[in-house]
Structure 1
């Protein structure tokens, strides 16, 4: 049976992909992965992800500032981001990676909130979906999304919260990003949540080269592993593999307009 996939979150500008793009894209294609969405982390790689998207038909990109990559010059970066989005082309399909990360005690929470609020406003202005990083911060992310109400929604990347939180994001027009965490036996809560979500609100991702699946610990993750994520998803869902594949693919093309 032939399945087709999109990796909705792959940092394809990072090592080990640099200068090896063709071989990794072929590896992905061999597993049915036809398309990648490559988010950026801050101004330092906006040009790189844009160039990749123009070089390869399979690649689309997003522009944003990751909460763990906020620099002292973030205000100027936000101005530059707005200017880039004013002149964006059709291969720029989202704003991100952006969001909140309260994992580290030393985090500058107020700055993170300010920067994420600006991303939400830009998403509303440019009618683009958001790729949202949310770690130990779901309640604040929900608060900001309710306040600003970006119409195109987006995806909560690498979701590992509660079923209630997932449904709250879905009610705001967001999809839930499912990655390699569901391959681990210890991830019982996350697997339970993902098993109960509406299938038409799920999209697949790798977060490559990070978040390796079970059995690949210590290795660099890669976009071909979306196929593995799909197989693990099929183990915890009641729908057929065909239905899951077709629905998740359609979800992703609908979200990003690709």
Structure 2
């Protein structure tokens, strides 16, 4: 039986894809990847992801402000995001990529928390899920999500926390994004976590052009590799590719309404 995939997180507006999207989409489709969710990082690429979705029926997008791409004038950017969400609803399936990133101890946590909270409120207002980037900040993200109580939930992209934290996100209506990190031997904790998660709470992603899989280090990651992520997940969970691909496909279409 054939298997079908959705790359739930890829940046097709970034290099090396920009201007060559058709080539990479075709390459992915040959591996069974039929749909693509393209999140944005701030106002600089909102128009680009919208345009991509208009040019390609297989592409859907999210509008948001990434915690590492917050401008100094972030209040104005939030206002522009509100305006963009009013103007662009066709194929906008989520708000993101948003969240918190406390990797740098000198980061402006207050600004990140404010911008993230505002996007959570927009997700609630527009009944959209969130695509969340969370690094060294899971407990802070959980706190904000519990305060706002989103009906549509979302996905924790590139999750690398504990099983307890994963289950806390799942209890709040979130899915766990699984990518190429599970291809590395050193990722023992993450592999243990994904082996124990409910399959109906997992999404597959590449984060292309970032997060290359083992054996492809130093190369740009590409959306066709979502199939290899599924192969690794099947090995880790000791389940068939068919079972995983069918369940995860349903998870992704259910969350994003596509």
- TM-score exceeds 0.5: yes
CA separation in 2, counterparts of 1:15 and 1:25? 14
Paired residue secondary structure (1:90): coil
**Further displaced range: 85-94 or 33-42:** 85-94
Which whole-Å deviations, capped at 9, do the CAs of 1:42-77 have from their partners, x for residues lacking one? 000000000000000010000000000001111111
The Cα of 1:242 is off from its aligned counterpart by 1.1
The Cα of 1:4 is off from its aligned counterpart by 0.3
Paired residue secondary structure (1:103): coil
CA separation in 2, counterparts of 1:88 and 1:21? 21
**Partner of 1:189 in structure 2?**
189
**Partner of 2:84 in structure 1?**
84
Q: Matches of residues 132-147 of structure 1 in structure 2 within 5 Å?
A: 132-147=132-147
CA separation in 1, counterparts of 2:73 and 2:108? 14
The Cα of 1:194 is off from its aligned counterpart by 0.3
The Cα of 1:199 is off from its aligned counterpart by 0.1
Which whole-Å deviations, capped at 9, do the CAs of 1:185-224 have from their partners, x for residues lacking one? 0000000000000000000000000000000000000000
Answering whether residue 45 of structure 2 is matched by residue 31 of structure 1, we say no
Q: Matches of residues 247-258 of structure 1 in structure 2 within 5 Å?
A: 247-258=247-258
CA separation in 1, counterparts of 2:28 and 2:90? 23
CA separation in 2, counterparts of 1:64 and 1:233? 29
**Partner of 2:217 in structure 1?**
217
The Cα of 1:99 is off from its aligned counterpart by 0.1
Which whole-Å deviations, capped at 9, do the CAs of 1:202-255 have from their partners, x for residues lacking one? 000000000000000000000000001000000011332211110000000000
Q: Matches of residues 62-81 of structure 1 in structure 2 within 5 Å?
A: 62-81=62-81
**Partner of 1:16 in structure 2?**
16
CA separation in 2, counterparts of 1:93 and 1:166? 23
Structure 1: runs of 5 or more not aligned: none
Which whole-Å deviations, capped at 9, do the CAs of 1:160-206 have from their partners, x for residues lacking one? 00000000000000000000000000000000000000000000000
The alignment yields a C-alpha RMSD, in angstroms, of 0.7
Q: Matches of residues 190-205 of structure 1 in structure 2 within 5 Å?
A: 190-205=190-205
Paired residue secondary structure (2:125): helix
CA separation in 2, counterparts of 1:45 and 1:90? 17
**Partner of 1:58 in structure 2?**
58
Paired residue secondary structure (1:61): strand
The Cα of 1:87 is off from its aligned counterpart by 2.6
Paired residue secondary structure (1:133): strand
**Partner of 1:243 in structure 2?**
243
CA separation in 1, counterparts of 2:21 and 2:205? 18
CA separation in 1, counterparts of 2:66 and 2:130? 12
CA separation in 2, counterparts of 1:245 and 1:206? 15
Paired residue secondary structure (2:65): coil
Paired residue secondary structure (1:175): strand
Structure 2: runs of 5 or more not aligned: none
Paired residue secondary structure (2:51): helix
**Partner of 2:48 in structure 1?**
48
CA separation in 2, counterparts of 1:42 and 1:161? 25
Length, aligned pairs only: 258
CA separation in 2, counterparts of 1:19 and 1:241? 32
TM-score by length of 2: 0.99
